[in-house]
Amino acid sequence: MRIQDIDPRDKAVYKPDPTFNPQRNAQVIQEVHDDTRKFFKRLEDTYEREMENRVDILSSFARYKFDRLGDQKLKGYVGKRLHTQLVGEKLLEKVRIMQSVDKLALRRKIQI
């Protein structure tokens, strides 16, 4: 900020700091910016690990529970719409696995 940038009404109360160093100010701002970025990166990584752990635990429990309940009870539990979506995803997963095996075996290609 320069003196020319100050509103003329505020110039009467503005007293520049003679010890102000613009380079040091820029350095401090950059350090704070870098520290903040590192902090949020660590926070994000921790959050991601915690979410992965929770998803693993929940999916393991759900698989155990629904394998015991069978398909019909799962449909009643999650509803017809979500059940159809889950079955479709499972079918697509199997097709993708077949596609990968086929590509590795250099047989045919299935486009999805």
| 15-65 pLDDT per residue, tens | 778 888 889 999 999 999 999 999 999 888 888 888 888 877 777 777 777
Residues 76 and 105 in one domain: yes
Residues 56 and 89 in one domain: no
Residue 87 burial (CB count, 10 A):
13
Residues 35 and 46 in one domain: yes
CB 69 within 8 A of CB 77: yes
Tally of domains in the chain:
2
End-to-end CA distance of the chain: 58
Q: Domain of residue 37: give its range.
A: 21-69
Q: Has residue 11 been placed in a domain?
A: no
Residues 74 and 99 in one domain: yes
CB 112 within 8 A of CB 103: no
Q: Report which of residues 27 and 75 the model is more confident about.
A: 27
State percent of the chain over pLDDT 90.
15
Residues 74 and 53 in one domain: no
pLDDT at residue 30, rounded to an integer: 94
Mean pLDDT (the chain) is: 78
Residues 74 and 86 in one domain: yes
